[in-house]
Amino acid sequence: MAPAWQDVRLAGLLLTFIINIGFLTYWRPFTASSSADVKSVLKSLGGLGRLENLRYKSAFQLDPPSEDAPYGAVDKVYLSFIIDNYDALPWSVIFVHGHLDAWHQEDTAVNLIHSLNRNQLARAGYISLRCDWFPSCPAELRPKDHDAVVWGNEGLHEDTEKAVSQSWRQLFPNEPLPETIAAPCCAQFAVTRQAILRRSQADFERMRQWLMETLMTDELSGRVFEKLWAYIFTGEAVHCPPPQMCACKYFGRCDPQVWEAPPSGIEIPEWP
């Protein structure tokens, strides 16, 4: 069955939280059934203010309803929001998926949004909603030397590494390809207007055009952007804050946390 366009009034819509919690949060649903998760999140956050649902729509497979939408579709929605609101961005934006819980989240979406330290976000400009280094830091992609650090059974992401290398000049025509690219996974993050505006609207339009025209699968093109969001907004090819510091400083979780054990030979700062 072909993808159907739905008026996503509860899933994947533009939510304005500026008055009550000082953020603009943009949801992108993975599945039609994710609306239940989004309803739960909205109810928990409370005080939503105005919901804008006329311009932002999202495509997903109706058969089967539990099938995930393509990775690349998520990034196109993120980029479209930035492009369409470039001249009227709030002071900060949180980009999250349309689920309440996931393996890559260290808490529910509600708790992550509530606990995020806005003062620290203002200083940092960009904060991943995941602090754990597994499976991405400190050297997931090594596009020149191909000697990436691999966690456990993850395996070397050769296809992603090759895709990033091949597409780099199109995405960042005036920037050299870094030797190492790494940041916490998995494309959920908070970013300030100032950090977004460090790149021109034309830059984001070029990125979206690449997504629309690439011959890569949506899954592969989505993984490319998953590895690059931190670089896009910080300019740092390796953006891996120590996980314990990240949890305490950015989310107020200052008790010792349990982190995935790093690969042999890799030292994680402040890791017990």
Quick one: pLDDT at residue 252? 94
8 Å CB contact between 56 and 8: yes
- Per-residue pLDDT tens listing for the chain (272 residues): 322 223 222 223 333 232 223 344 554 433 333 445 555 555 555 533 333 332 333 332 223 333 344 446 678 888 888 898 899 888 888 887 766 666 667 777 778 888 889 899 999 999 999 999 888 888 889 998 888 877 766 556 788 999 999 999 999 999 999 999 999 998 889 999 999 999 999 999 999 999 999 999 988 998 999 999 999 999 999 999 999 999 999 999 998 877 777 777 677 776 65
Domain ranges for the chain: 4-131+185-251
State which amino acid sits at residue 64.
P
Centre a 10 Å sphere on the Cβ of residue 272 and count the other Cβ atoms it contains.
Answer: 8
Integer angstrom CA distances of residue 119 from 37, 251, 265: 28, 11, 35
Residues 6+ apart with CB under 8 A from 247: 106, 131, 253, 254, 257
Angle among Cα 124, 77, 44 to the nearest 5 degrees reads 65
Token match 């050769």: residue?
Answer: 158
CA dist., res. 56 & res. 79, Å (int): 12
Contact residues for 189 (Cβ-Cβ < 8 A; gap 6+): 94, 95, 126, 127, 128, 129, 229, 230, 233
For 15, the token pair is: 């939510």
Give the separation between CA 31 and CA 68, rounded to whole angstroms.
6
**pLDDT attached to residue 184:** 94
Residue 240 tokens, joined: 């891996």
Instruction: Please work out, in degrees rounded to the nearest 5, the angle formed at the alpha carbon of residue 192 by the alpha carbons of 189 and 193.
Output: 130
Cβ count near 9 (within 10 Å): 14
pTM, two decimals, is: 0.78
Report the pLDDT value the prediction gives residue 40, as an integer from 0 to 100. Answer: 57
Instruction: Give CA–CA dist 192/154, Å, rounded.
Output: 32
Q: What is the DSSP secondary-structure string of 144-202?
A: TT------TT----HHHHHHHHHHHHHHSTTSPPPS-BB--SSS-EEEEHHHHTTS-HH
pLDDT at residue 249, as a whole number? 95
User: What's the rounded Cα separation, in Å, for the pair 225 and 164?
Assistant: 9
